[in-house]
Amino acid sequence: GFDRDKLLTSMKSQLSDFRYKHCLRVEKVSRGLAAQYNVDVDKAGLAGLLHDYAKERPADEFKAAIKSHNLNRDLLNYGNGIWHGIVGAEIIKDELGIYDEDVLNAIRRHTVGSTRMTGVDKCVFIADFIEPKRDFPGVDDARKAADTSLNTGVAFELKHTIEHLVDNNRTIYPVTFESYNYWITKGE
């Protein structure tokens, strides 16, 4: 087991009030999805709670961590949006002593997905997108998709995210495309 109060203190010390509260909402929604779809509720909740732990770190720290943890150097061509999950999981391991790979993978995959997403990964990925304070155009359709099936929710979110990135002339991390190609055929 883990000491949730201690993790909350760490989260609070690392994050703005706005993002800390977002993480608590994602924890709750992720646990709800896990219960709905017979996924491990505690893993989905813990990953949901911690998913943005590293989001407010400076770029230099992520760049150093990419090198010290020997992660794919292509990551250096991206930014905080991509780093805080993939690299953030390594920071969480080092600083919080969370070693459960199911939890760490859900954190790694919460922004860009993966072709190998598990139930826990899907709950966190979707919860981050549909938590109650999200209010972008299309969020109600995303909530409906999530209520149809986890795969439908994941496919909807990847399509919406890629559309949004293209609309804004943003570069797309190749794993995001791989995830889209894989899951767009799996949503029912």
- Residue ranges that bind Fe ion, judged by CB under 5 A: 52, 128
Taking CA atoms, 179 is separated from 75, 79, 109, in Å, by 17, 19, 10
Ramachandran sector of residue 113 (left: φ over 0; alpha: ψ -120 to 50; beta: rest): left
Radius of gyration of the chain (CA): 16
Site string for ligand DGI, 168-187 (x = CB under 6 A): --xxxx--x-----------
Pick one of ligand DGI, Fe ion, none as the site partner of residue 121 (Cβ within 5 to 8 A by kind). Answer: none
Contacted entry of ligand DGI, Fe ion, none for residue 172, CB cut-off 5 to 8 Å set by kind? ligand DGI
Quick one: which of 14, 30, 105, 111 contacts ligand DGI (CB under 6 A)?
A: 111
Name which of residues 28 to 57 contact ligand DGI (CB under 6 A): 52, 55
Residue 1 C-beta: closest distance to ligand DGI, Å: 27
> Considering beta carbons, is residue 118 or 125 the nearer one to ligand DGI?
125
Does the footprint of ligand DGI cover residue 128 (CB under 6 A)?
yes
What is the binding site for ligand DGI (CB under 6 A)?
A: 52, 55, 78, 81-82, 85, 110-112, 128, 161, 165, 170-173, 176
